[in-house]
Structure 1
Amino acid sequence: MKNSIYIGLLALTCIITSCTDVIDVEVPTAEPRLVIEASLDWEKGTSGMDQTIKLSTTTPYFETDLPNAVTGAEVRVTRASDNAVYVFEDQQNGTYTSNAFGAILNDVYTLNVIYEGETFTATETLLPTTSISRVTQTKDDGFDPDALEVVVYFDDPADEENYYVLRYQEVGDFFPDLVTVSDEFLNGNEIKLIYEKRGDDEDDEFQPGDVVDINIYNVTKEYYNYIGILNNQSGSSGNPFTPAPVELLGNCINVTNKENYPYGYFRVTQTDKQSYTFIED
């Protein structure tokens, strides 16, 4: 099968290189949409008062260098139990910050964004999170027997339905990896998760001395599903046999004009964080 595919691609290459006609391809365009990045994370051991929300707009596919930070919006978060309102101040660069956010476990929070005369809103519950019990390393359980893997352990509470997102980010990397897991078949047990950083060559793998930051979040089922779809779409981009990605909508809605829906997600959760430094195996 691999040989057939290679030959087909080679023949296609010959056809393309022998063609001199210029073909203009019309790329579909759309009006910019608001993108809301509102992850309010209360890290254990901190007050959780310093929080940031980012607003931007979508850009045309071939014009990613266009400025798209949103300024001039009104951003507020309201706590349901006492109607406390937290105003996020516009920093004139697409970020909106508060240094007085009040985090209360199991309380309900509502985000309100007013931008260009339209109101965008979302509601989430601040869930308590399970703590990471320990972090180790191994070479025995991943895809590559010579690659270092980080192993995270945590205890799942019994008689509860829990959904988790683990965030792995090596110090120095621009982007984290997000891994989802539910306790559907692991309820009440210790959960062991193995993460192996894979790339095109050995330099992309974890090396002794590398430091990786690990966050664990208890999340709603809706956010768990959202991240799962996001991972599937981003991971299949190089596979020509997968269906084209569909629009991934979060929990934010436009109550003024439903047709002008936003992208992004509003999440409020507690998180436990640990850092691990790899040693010679």
Structure 2
Amino acid sequence: MKKQIFIALGLLLLFSCEDVVSVELPTDEPRLVIDGLLRVDKSQEFIDVEIKVTETSDFFQENPVTQVENASIVYGRPTGGGLFDSISSSSLVEREPSSGVYIPDPNASSEQRIRTAAAEPGIAFILQLEHKERRYLARTEYSASVPFDNVRQGTETLFDEDDTEVVVTFTDNPDQNDFYVFDFDFGEFQALDDQFFQGQQFQFSYFYSKNLQVGQSITISILGANLDFFNYMDLLVEQTEDNGGVFETPITTVRGNVFDVTDLDNINIFDNVGQPDVFALGYFAVVQEFSQTITIE
């Protein structure tokens, strides 16, 4: 009887020690996030232009869609000093109300779509946005790529017997230093430069840790990149592959090429060094894409 009383008291003390722990998550003012990766397929007449805009949110929540007051893309061949040899523009409008996706205005009096013929090495593209009385600019140059020589399913595994290997082969351009971004579907990317295989055929394996099903189709793309886009994607992949979890402080905020230029007048204020906390997130790039789809066996 005494033994049963002691056990009951012990259990009572054990459960009475439980307490609800409130974790205070960091909060910040929402920032504009730009998803502006424009993929150029030279076999098509027009570039598939879609600029997605969201705002940052708290932990455990998806970024909410937002809207911009004005959006446009200007493009042409720069001659230096901020001047262009010739310049064209594309006015963007929201595809559907509250979608947060902006496309060339289909109801404009003139053609607003951008022809793929305009995307050539040396052509600069500038994205202009206005959001909540702030102005944003992002500048990039078109980046060409090379096609795949071959994409096939392999038989090797990396860490787990359920891994699926895909073997990618391509030949690098010998005339320049190149950077590439590979899109392996499912939001999985890999950045690569040609430092050790310039001008040569190169083959590497990518392993999917998710359990892919027999008969499932996956699309793999090779994208051109300049050094800035390569560095951005390389850092982004490193951060998203981190296994520390959402409570671990990131090494750094992954900053893209979208700048808040609201307070810049190029006379008294020509950079934002004095306001380091004013910036948007995301990236704007115009890149050539080659894709290949394979079926898992």
State the TM-score, normalized to the length of structure 2: 0.77
Q: What secondary structure, in the 3-state scheme, does the structure 1 residue paired with 2:234 have?
A: helix
- Which of structures 1 and 2 has the bigger CA Rg? 2
Aligned residues: 252
Residues 1:231 and 2:237 aligned together: yes
Return the match for 2:113 from 100, 104, 125: 100
Q: Name the residue aligned to 2:206.
A: 195
Deviation at 1:18? 7.1
CA contact (8 A) 2:39 2:47 kept: no
Residues 1:137 and 2:153 aligned together: yes
Q: What secondary structure, in the 3-state scheme, does the structure 2 residue paired with 1:228 have?
A: helix
Q: Name the residue aligned to 1:267.
A: 285
Residues 126-148 of structure 1 deviation map (CA, whole Å, 9 limit, x = unaligned): 11110111112211374456744
Change (3 A) 1:143 1:189: farther
Residues 1:85 and 2:89 aligned together: yes
Distance 2:295 2:208 in 1: 14
Residues 1:118 and 2:114 aligned together: no
State the TM-score, normalized to the length of structure 1: 0.81
Gaps of 5+ in 1: 1-15, 170-174
CA contact (8 A) 2:33 2:56 kept: yes
CA contact (8 A) 1:80 1:109 kept: yes
Change (3 A) 1:20 1:96: same
Q: For 1:132-171, what aligned pairs fall within 5 Å after superposition?
A: 132-140=148-156, 142-144=158-160, 147-169=163-185
Distance 1:235 1:145 in 2: 20
Distance 1:21 1:196 in 2: 43
Q: Between 121-130 and 102-111, report the one with greater CA deviation.
A: 102-111
Q: For 1:183-262, what aligned pairs fall within 5 Å after superposition?
A: 183-199=194-210, 204=211, 206-238=212-244, 244-257=250-263, 258=272, 259-262=277-280
Distance 1:219 1:272 in 2: 13
Distance 1:183 1:18 in 2: 62
Gaps of 5+ in 2: 1-13, 78-85, 105-111, 264-271
Distance 1:237 1:76 in 2: 38
Distance 2:198 2:256 in 1: 27
Change (3 A) 1:186 1:243: farther
Residues 76-123 of structure 1 deviation map (CA, whole Å, 9 limit, x = unaligned): 111123210111112321010126123321111111111122110111
Change (3 A) 1:86 1:156: same
